[in-house]
Amino acid sequence: MDAEEIRKKISALTQTLKDHNYRYYVLAEPVISDLEFDRMLKELEYLEKEYPQYVLPDSPTRTVGGGLTNEFVSVPHRRRMLSLGNTYNEEELRDFDERVRKVTGDAVEYVCELKIDGLAISLFYENGQLVQAVTRGDGVSGDDVTMNVKTIRSVTPQLHGDYLPSFEIRGEIFMHRKGFEKLNAERISNGDTPYANPRNVAAGSLKIKDVAEVARRPLDITLYHLLVDEMPFDTHFDAIQKHARSWGLKVADSTRLCRNVEEVLAYLHEWDKKRHDLSFDTDGVVIKVNSLRMQEELGFTAKVPRWAIAYKFQTESALTTLLGISYQVGRTGAITPVAELKPVFLLGTTVKRASLYNADEIERLDVRPGDMVFIEKGGEIIPKVTGVDFSKREPGTEPVRYISHCPECGTELVRHEDEALHYCPNEDGCPPQVVGKIEHFVARKAMDISSIGSQMATKLYEAGLVRKVSDLYKLQASDFTDWPGMGEKSIQNLLSGVEQSREIPFERVLFALGIRHVGETVAKKLAGAFRNVEALEKAGVEELTAVPEIGTVIAESVVDWFARPAHRQMLEELKQAGLQLEKAAGGEPVSSKLQGLTFVISGVFSRFSRDEAKDLIERNGGKCAGSVSSKTNYLLAGEGMGPAKLQKAEDLGVKLLSEEDFLAMLGDTASESGKAEASQTLLF
């Protein structure tokens, strides 16, 4: 390459890596693997070393990847949050050990810590109290997410024991796979696109402005780096594993003190196998010099500490032929492209299909039928296409043209401006969508008709017996006379299941309807606020958003659903069938202690949820409002309450009410309400 080509190459690599940094740290939506990123970074480092005259001032080799959101207050770090250098092989790790020993001498102890795939966080404690939590950001400044972090149960708000009066401790916020799977199940049931992986959800959760929503996320934390102006301890291991642990801070149990690099390698080999049994994702091991004196002696480069390095586990991948691309239609009409592959063995299973996610991903990969493609298991579970071996591409192949019409019903697809997926809008006539709605309607958490599974739902649709969910209540034994494998008992079980579902309460019927964005929790809130389907049908966006935690997106989806004549006709048929389209009697008033008083609820509470607080207020004669106004009598203030509501309450002179004051105001009626609520729950 000539000089101009080298300059352009350095410039292009710099911009590409900056873009990927932004996707990873700010958007929490990485599109390449860590290995791919590090390969590009090393190429840039090499070019910059050879041609320093072309190095750009904002090169990612000189800065920590990331950026700041504009949703939280940006605060400068008291000490820069640096990245770590990465290695993928034992030879480079031995080179690291040799560099360390040249500076410090032969006897070097290391501490090995599992590198959890999450979001870096820095916590500040003063006199035993957690006072601030800040994200990595760009390494120099980060976002103040204190209120959100305080909702994480494993974060210690008050220390105990002989703790230091003032210190900073850093760690990782992450999500266990079970919690991630539960969240995705809720999103799918709501008709939303599932999240890609636990790391993205953990990172995205800290950027949510609604503290109550963050509290619902099953986040966890592990802490691994203590920082203080005058360190009273000699080693990193003692500072974390002995002292920080004794103060009540959550630190990792898997950390190990190693006497030399051979013991470090043994730890790596052990956890390369055991990591698959963990409840969370880990992509490597962090190796740190144990002596704090040696750490200080080794110092830092412009970007990384010289006394630590991250060893990354290799993600197993496979190379196979892309036979073609098929398109699946989901219950909500979302179109998912799927790579049809020549079968290949990967991490214990034979992979024949892999996700391509959406049209943008196909274009980014430039993947074409006939290509040799790389396959990995995302989170080592879900197969996905990660790249193309362009050297093996046959000449003359054409880029993929994404489908314009539904592969099932032929309806022209739509793509909303702010969404990555294409949708088939023919929700009441597209076969997979109709069958999906039937499956959702009969699900356990909805109408709980266990006698109708996925196969039976398909058969009922294909036989023309059920084309909308209200048709289920028109089924008769004679409809199944000639069905193979359907004996008298099977027929009776199916019809009995349908019959029993007529007693399912209104909030579950509402969830079963499959209105986009209306999951179990939202359905309960809407049922409690509007009491019956007629009132809900008449509600506009403004009335719906007045219900706590119901946003514009949900409100517009509800209004749109009820506006469709086919849906109103179906509701009429469900009403005629005797379904519960009105909230059952229960939750009757227990006192008039709060008569004439209007409350606004904000924050998180330890002894009741926000819904339970609302129920207590209403059953004692009070009213709840979604926003503070001159008509508000009390702002019931929990942990992490919204600052805007607090400011408005102070401006208007609205009295703040603590959790304890609220329960004292109710007196005995609080416990009576709780008993009534418990008995009501048992009935459902």
Percent of the chain surpassing pLDDT 70: 90
Smallest CA-to-CA distance from 528 within 546, 512, 509, 547 is with 547
The CB density around residue 405, as the number of other CB atoms within 10 Å, is 11
DSSP secondary structure, 419-431, as one string: -SS-B---TTT-H
CATH of the domain at 475: 1.10.150.20
Say if 647 falls within a structural domain: yes
Average pLDDT of every residue of the chain: 86
More confident site: 242 or 680: 242
In the numeric block, which tokens belong to residue 39?
A: 């390969």
Is the pLDDT score of 410 beyond 70? Answer: yes
Residues 572 and 672 in one domain: no
Domain boundary among 312, 333, 356: 312
Domain boundary among 293, 312, 331: 312
Say if 347 falls within a structural domain: yes
Say if 334 falls within a structural domain: yes
CA trace torsion 41, 47, 51, 55 (10° rounding): -20
Say if 526 falls within a structural domain: yes
Residues 293 and 359 in one domain: no
CA distances for 168 relative to 126, 230, 676, angstroms? 9, 12, 46
Residues 236 and 271 in one domain: yes
Q: CA 402, CA 404: separation in Å to the nearest integer?
A: 6
N- to C-terminal Cα distance for the chain? Answer: 73
- Would you state the pLDDT for residue 205? 86
Contact predicate 217/155, CB 8 Å? no
Cα torsion 175, 176, 177, 181: sign: negative
Look at 193-197, 380-384, 433-437, 589-593 and tell me which has the smallest mean pLDDT. 380-384
Going by pLDDT thresholds of 50, 70 and 90, the confidence category of residue 417 is confident
Is the pLDDT score of 147 beyond 60? Answer: yes
Domains contained in the chain, number: 5
CA atoms within 13 A on the CB side of 368: 13
Per DSSP, the three-state class of 656 is strand
Smallest CA-to-CA distance from 370 within 386, 384, 389 is with 389
More confident site: 187 or 484: 484
Q: CA 339, CA 524: separation in Å to the nearest integer?
A: 39
Q: CA 218, CA 203: separation in Å to the nearest integer?
A: 12
Cα torsion 226, 228, 233, 235: sign: positive
DSSP secondary structure, 332-399, as one string: T-BEEEEEEEEEEEETTEEEEEEE--SHHHHHHHT--TT-EEEEEEETTTEEEEEEE-GGGPPTT---
DSSP secondary structure, 272-327, as one string: HHHGGGSSS-EEEEEEEESBHHHHHHH-B-SSSBTTEEEEEPPPPEEEEEEEEEEE
Say if 422 falls within a structural domain: no
Contact predicate 366/359, CB 8 Å? no
- Would you state the pLDDT for residue 683? 22
- Would you state the pLDDT for residue 107? 85
Domain housing 672: 598-683
The CB density around residue 303, as the number of other CB atoms within 10 Å, is 18
The distance of Cα 595 from the centroid of its chain, to the nearest Å, equals 41
Residues annotated as catalytic are 115
Going by pLDDT thresholds of 50, 70 and 90, the confidence category of residue 122 is very high
More confident site: 166 or 331: 166
In the numeric block, which tokens belong to residue 285?
A: 């091991």
In the numeric block, which tokens belong to residue 521?
A: 């929790």
Residues 521 and 625 in one domain: no
Look at 175-179, 182-186, 432-436 and tell me which has the smallest mean pLDDT. 182-186
Mean pLDDT, to the nearest integer, of 539-545? 92
- Would you state the pLDDT for residue 34? 67
Strand-by-strand arrangement of the 308-312 sheet: 86-87, 308-312, 282-289, 110-116, 256-258
Residues 240 and 100 in one domain: yes
Say if 490 falls within a structural domain: yes
Residue range 606-641, pLDDT digits in tens: 788 777 788 788 888 888 887 788 889 999 998 777
CA distances for 258 relative to 24, 86, 97, 108, 301, angstroms? 32, 19, 12, 9, 25
Look at 20-34, 290-304, 473-487 and tell me which has the smallest mean pLDDT. 20-34
Say if 419 falls within a structural domain: no
More confident site: 394 or 117: 394
Mean pLDDT, to the nearest integer, of 472-494? 92
Phi, psi angle pair for 418, to nearest 5°:
-100, 15
Contacts (Cβ under 8 Å, ≥6 apart) of 46: none
Mean pLDDT, to the nearest integer, of 66-88? 77
Residues 436 and 456 in one domain: yes
**Whether this model's pTM surpasses 0.95:** no
- Would you state the pLDDT for residue 681? 25
Going by pLDDT thresholds of 50, 70 and 90, the confidence category of residue 326 is very high
Contact predicate 594/621, CB 8 Å? yes
CATH of the domain at 643: 3.40.50.10190
Domain boundary among 278, 312, 346: 312
Going by pLDDT thresholds of 50, 70 and 90, the confidence category of residue 24 is low
Q: CA 337, CA 165: separation in Å to the nearest integer?
A: 56
Residues 479 and 535 in one domain: yes
Say if 559 falls within a structural domain: yes
Going by pLDDT thresholds of 50, 70 and 90, the confidence category of residue 28 is low
The amino acid at 278? L
- Would you state the pLDDT for residue 303? 75
CA atoms within 13 A on the CB side of 548: 25
Q: CA 410, CA 644: separation in Å to the nearest integer?
A: 48
Q: CA 443, CA 395: separation in Å to the nearest integer?
A: 49
Going by pLDDT thresholds of 50, 70 and 90, the confidence category of residue 446 is very high
CATH of the domain at 30: 1.10.287.610
**Percent of the chain as helix, strand, coil, to the nearest 5:** 40, 20, 40
Is the pLDDT score of 1 beyond 70? Answer: no
Going by pLDDT thresholds of 50, 70 and 90, the confidence category of residue 191 is low
Residues 270 and 296 in one domain: yes
Going by pLDDT thresholds of 50, 70 and 90, the confidence category of residue 669 is low
Mean pLDDT, to the nearest integer, of 128-150? 91
Is the pLDDT score of 678 beyond 50? Answer: no
In the numeric block, which tokens belong to residue 604?
A: 């998180």
- Would you state the pLDDT for residue 71? 61
Angle between helices 177-189 and 198-205 (to 10 degrees): 80
Residues 549 and 613 in one domain: no
Residues 246 and 131 in one domain: yes
Is the pLDDT score of 675 beyond 50? Answer: no
Q: Which residue is associated with the tokens 């003190």?
A: 257
Residues 145 and 252 in one domain: yes
Is the pLDDT score of 533 beyond 90? Answer: yes
Residues 144 and 114 in one domain: yes
Contact predicate 251/147, CB 8 Å? no
- Would you state the pLDDT for residue 106? 75
Per DSSP, the three-state class of 592 is coil
